[in-house]
Structure 1
Amino acid sequence: MPLSPLEHDRRYGELDQVMRAYAGCPADDTPERPGRALTAYLRHTWHTRPWALALAERQLREYAEHPPGRLRLRLGEFYAIPDVGLPEADLQRWLYCLADHIRHSVETGEVPPPAVPDTHGEWHARFPELGQFLGGWFSQDLPDEFGDDPDLAVADYRESTDPQLVARLIGELRELLALDLPDPECALALAELGMEVDPPAPLTPGAWLHLVAGKLEDASTRGPGQPTE
């Protein structure tokens, strides 16, 4: 029978987090160095959930040591490794390579320094609520839902979202702005996080983020029932 959510997370939860880091990235790790995706996973996990690294190392190694057969995969009794562009015969060696790099990082304390996110997975891991906001309210459906008025989209997010999540978004907006990205790189970051429309002219991406953060902060300082501008 298929794995229950609890059993899946117990046996493969952190392994799945490692695999998600490879979305859109090649499995280019070598015994000498981790690739882009694993480096991004290490950087984010060290600074947010360092205890999870030992779990990832164990789950990777156990999966490599006991790979599932085709029948058990078909029945859903095992986690299926996503397609990372490697031949099936090379997967076991690659999983051991990932486990070795994670173990080395934990045992030596070698931590990738803070940096601008380098992969799609790292952008979404670092800015989850911003990804929800941009992907949900600033998709290609914006003109159909809000008449091409981004202020209405921001107001709808604020009014329909728990205040704690709004506060989290404000913090993520300020964190992204603190990266001080040039406008072309800021535009790429917004696209990675799900934005499918351009910021309203004549604002640059950074200026628009400042404006959105300010609107949300102003609204959060007003008590319930107080009018908005």
Structure 2
Amino acid sequence: MSLSPLDHDHRYGELDQVIRAYVGQEADDTPAQAGPALNAYLRHTWHARPWALAIAERQLRDYADHPPGRLRLRLGEFYAIPDVGLADNEVQQWLRCLADHIRRSIEQGDVPPPAIPATHWEWHARFPETGQFLSGWFSQDMPDEFADHDEAVEDYRSSTDPHLVARLVGELHELLALGLDEFGCALALAELGMEVDPPSSHGAGGWLTLVADRLGSPRAEYGPGPGGDTSS
């Protein structure tokens, strides 16, 4: 019997967020220094959900001190730590190391300054709607589904809740405010799920600016003009 969603989140929800930050990253943290993955988690969480840090510290330490016993393993009622490149007998010590770094960050008020995302997890945690937009509408199948990039953008606008469209516009402006060069902007698009090139008439940054402006502008609504005239 697997864990219910409520039980999973209560016991392991924030632990899972920390572990997800290690996708594509090495678990190379030491007692003296946190690695890039944990630094990315700390940076984003301090600025987005600072209250979650204490939960992460407790869940990491609880899991390290009380790993699943044979009964929970047999019933499937436990969180399975993904393979992070460590031997089984090293995982508990590593989890305690992460908990110590998070506790130290909280107690010392060590808030990392905002910066360009450094990991795949941080890109998606910071720009979630952008990731949905790019991976959903600009995957490698995009040329088979839409005539061009403009049609794909319009399909997103017409099929997505306006609140989410507004959220995307805000994220795009935040992304542009990072001041990335053309290579950095193209890398950001790839990290966030875009699998096709921007239109040949625009670079990555220019296309993002165009999309932000287009989605941020009210849609043209056509209807009867003064006196019932529908001509334009």
Same fold by TM (over 0.5)?
A: yes
- Matched AA of 2:200: A
Preserved CA contact (<8 Å) 1:170 1:217 = yes
Q: CA deviation at 1:129?
A: 0.1
Q: CA deviation at 1:71?
A: 5.6
Q: CA deviation at 1:65?
A: 0.3
Q: List structure 1 segments (4+ residues) > 6 angstroms apart after TM superposition.
A: none
Shift of the 62–140 alpha-carbon distance from structure 1 to 2, 3 Å rule, reads: same
The answer as to 2:108 corresponding to 1:130 is no
2:228 aligned partner = none
The answer as to 2:75 corresponding to 1:89 is no
Matches within 5 A, 1:14-163: 14-69=14-69, 72-73=72-73, 75-147=75-147, 149-163=148-162
1:219 match: secondary structure: coil
- Matched AA of 1:92: Q
Q: CA deviation at 1:150?
A: 0.5
Query: In structure 1, what is the Cα distance between the partners aligned to 2:44 and 2:66?
Result: 28
Shift of the 70–193 alpha-carbon distance from structure 1 to 2, 3 Å rule, reads: farther
Report the TM-score when normalising by structure 1. Answer: 0.94
TM-superposition CA deviations, 1:5-60 (whole Å, max 9, x none): 00000000000000110011100100001100000000000001100000000000
Q: CA deviation at 1:132?
A: 0.1
Shift of the 166–184 alpha-carbon distance from structure 1 to 2, 3 Å rule, reads: same
1:67 match: secondary structure: coil
Range that drifts further, 71-80 or 133-142 = 71-80
Asked which structure has the greater CA Rg, the reply is 2
Q: CA deviation at 1:158?
A: 0.2
* Unpaired runs of at least 5, structure 1: none
Query: In structure 2, what is the Cα distance between the partners aligned to 1:225 and 1:21?
Result: 50
Q: CA deviation at 1:76?
A: 2.1
Query: In structure 1, what is the Cα distance between the partners aligned to 2:162 and 2:73?
Result: 42
Root mean square deviation of aligned Cα? 1.5
Q: CA deviation at 1:73?
A: 3.2
TM-superposition CA deviations, 1:129-163 (whole Å, max 9, x none): 0000000000001011113x010100000000000
Preserved CA contact (<8 Å) 1:18 1:56 = yes
2:6 aligned partner = 6
Query: In structure 1, what is the Cα distance between the partners aligned to 2:124 and 2:155?
Result: 22
Query: In structure 2, what is the Cα distance between the partners aligned to 1:127 and 1:225?
Result: 36
1:216 aligned partner = 215
* Unpaired runs of at least 5, structure 2: 225-232
1:166 aligned partner = 165
1:199 aligned partner = 198
Preserved CA contact (<8 Å) 1:73 1:80 = no
- Matched AA of 2:114: P
Report the TM-score when normalising by structure 2. Answer: 0.93
- Matched AA of 2:177: A
Query: In structure 1, what is the Cα distance between the partners aligned to 2:14 and 2:222?
Result: 41
